[in-house]
Chains A and B, each alone.
Chain A
Amino acid sequence: MDFTIFLIQILNSLQYGLLLFLVASGLTLVFGIMGIINLAHGSFYMIGAYLAFALTSLTGNLMLAIVLGLPLAFIFGALLEWLLFAHLYKRDHLEQVLLTYGLILIFEELRSLAIGDDVHGVNIPALFSASIPLSDTLSYPVYRLLISAVCIALAVGLWWLMQRTRLGMMIRAGSHDRDMVQALGIDINLLYRTVFALGVALAALAGMLAAPISSVYPGMGGSVLIISFVIVVIGGIGSVWGALIAALLIGFADTFGKVLVPEFAGLAVYLVMAIVLLWRPEGILKKG
């Protein structure tokens, strides 16, 4: 493999891994803090992508669509938590699986009713549509670098939020002992709602950012969901840092798998998972 192509694959792996981190971080947070397994998390990614498509067609600009779409996703997440997920905290995992499975079916059909089953493209904003030439024939699109940059900024922001702010402190405390936090006078329901809505917004943002690259198509949520599960399992449930390491690992495994053994590319991700499970059944960074 020549160096330029190698470099491009490295950049692609990083970009894919970081994007997956956005989806998986919400999943692992919601799981680690509220103890909920949410199969519908992939749907939030799909909803984000379709929001990007719909709002871009409306406003003509993806950036504007994201600015409009993010609060919508956040509000949608808060509503959903209030209506449904708040009733699930005390139920067992099996019932959480089923209810969220039912939600997937509902979201997919609503998407089909509202926008249809066609594949749609979303244009990259003109500002970032350039490519950086790497050699005479090869170049790298600026937009992909932008995605990586945004994701890195968000990862740092998430770290800051969790470790350095009062809200983060409450969230971390809430994941240890719900009753104690409540006894200290903190509104735990509001806290949970915020975390859940944050998770939805992160997944939707990942979908919006990915829309121009992957295009927008039915069933896009399902594959992302399962990959996110793999990431959460590898990283250790509830650990945001574990999710970051695992997401990058998966980004590299998948991208290089496609280049080196195209025939079995779909399997690379799961092989990584199987190896990690043999080595550490509870994930790389298991949270207490």
Chain B
Amino acid sequence: MNPRIALVLKLAALVGLIVFPSFGSSFYTEMVAKMLILGIFAMSLDLLVGFTGLVSLGHAAYFGIAAYTVALLTPKYDPANFWIALPAAVLAAAAAAFVIGLFVLRTKGIYFIMVTLAFAQMVYFIFHDTALGGGSDGIYVNFKPDATIAGWQPFNLDEPLQLYYFVVAALVAVFVFLTLVLRSPFGKVLVGIRSNEHRMQSLGYATFRYKLAAFTLAGGLAGVAGFLYAVLFGFVTPEYLSWHQSGNVLMMVILGGMGNLAGAVIGAFAFIGLQEMFADWTKHWQLLMGGVIVAAVLFMPGGLSALPGRVLKKLNQESKHG
């Protein structure tokens, strides 16, 4: 797509997100906030899957670790300090990604997929089996983090509308940040690793370090999403780090078309939209979801964001033949 048209479309989408709460009910505003948070989560995974060529099936671990960090930092009868809770959650997620990355990045291909899944499951069991975070029952975040500094409160996350705009701002910030990262020499190396790691090594790049940096960064950004998710719903359970969550976010990336940051967000919207629609119809909505996933893999290579291009190409071909 023409970059200028793409930019106009992105800005139009942003305007749409900004004016949305004036039209949608609070129920839909919360749902869109959820989609945006999962959009951040999907973008962080896209950095690995789409740009570096690392298919991680354990990305929910970092999302969940950040969510648990907020929950554990929030006292029972007081809000946590926002300026401590957010960095702590992101750092905890990034630190976990760094340590796990040291292990999993020793492997490649299918091994990598299985090992990331296994390590995420290990983190799941830490929270599920021990009393650390309330065990399998989960833990409440009774108060949303308070952003007051020296008596001045720049924003109040207790206000649903302010929380919504905070999420929109976070999405834009992560999007811009990742775009800049991918334009930087570091980002070019990551894309180089995806297309041919041996060549990058021959060129003298220590690819392991680059992959570890990408893995840590992706973990930290997943942490941003995990933080926001815990704040939005005020509740954290081991399900946040379950492998279903990892599978779902991978599906969002693919649905949107990997290697495309905006696509990851579109994928998150499409996935949650479908989920809500199917859940409205039937209690057995996962059957329909599974069907969509299978059909998407079989019939739609390249994801949703590649769809307009594919349709145009097809039309072009037909007009040439005709």
Contact = CB atoms under 8 A, between A and B. Distances in A.
A108 B290 CA distance: 10
Interface in B238-293: 243, 247, 250-251, 254, 258, 284, 286-287, 289-293
Interface residues of A, number: 42
A277 interface: yes
Interface in A73-114: 84, 87, 91, 93-95, 97-99, 101-106, 108-110, 112-113
A101 B247 contact: yes
B103 A263 contact: no
A84 B294 CA distance: 9
A99 B130 CA distance: 33
B49 A102 contact: no
Q: Is the contact region of chain B dominated by helix, strand, or loop, or is it mixed? A: helix
Contacts, number: 120
Contacts of A110: 287
A277 B107 contact: yes
B297 A229 contact: no
A109 B106 contact: no
B109 A229 contact: no
B5 to A, nearest CB: 28
A232 B114 contact: yes
A152 interface: no
Contact of B113 (A97, A265, A267): A97
Interface in B288-304: 289-294, 296-298, 301
Interface string B86-127: 000000000000000001001101110111011101100110
A106 B129 CA distance: 28
B250 A233 contact: no
A230 B121 CA distance: 11
Given A93-B110, A266-B125, A230 B118 contact: yes
Given A105-B289, A266-B129, A270-B125, A113 B106 contact: no
Given A101-B247, A109-B284, A112-B284, A263 B293 contact: no
Contact of A102 (B111, B118, B291): B291
Contact of B55 (A97, A222, A226, A237): A97
B128 interface: yes
B251 A226 contact: no
Interface residues of B, number: 41
Contacts of A281: 106-107, 111
B107 A106 contact: no
B111 A94 contact: no
Given A93-B110, A99-B297, A105 B118 contact: no
A57 to B, nearest CB: 23
B286 to A, nearest CB: 4
Contacts of B115: 233, 273, 277
Contact of B290 (A104, A229, A264): A104
B57 interface: yes
Given A37-B110, A102-B297, A108-B286, A226 B121 contact: yes
B294 A103 contact: yes
Please list the 5 inter-chain residue pairs (A to B) with the smallest Cβ-Cβ separation, ordered nearest first.
A102-B293, A105-B290, A266-B125, A270-B122, A106-B290
Interface of B: 49, 55, 57, 103, 106-107, 109-111, 113-115, 117-119, 121-122, 125-126, 128-130, 243, 247, 250-251, 254, 258, 284, 286-287, 289-294, 296-298, 301
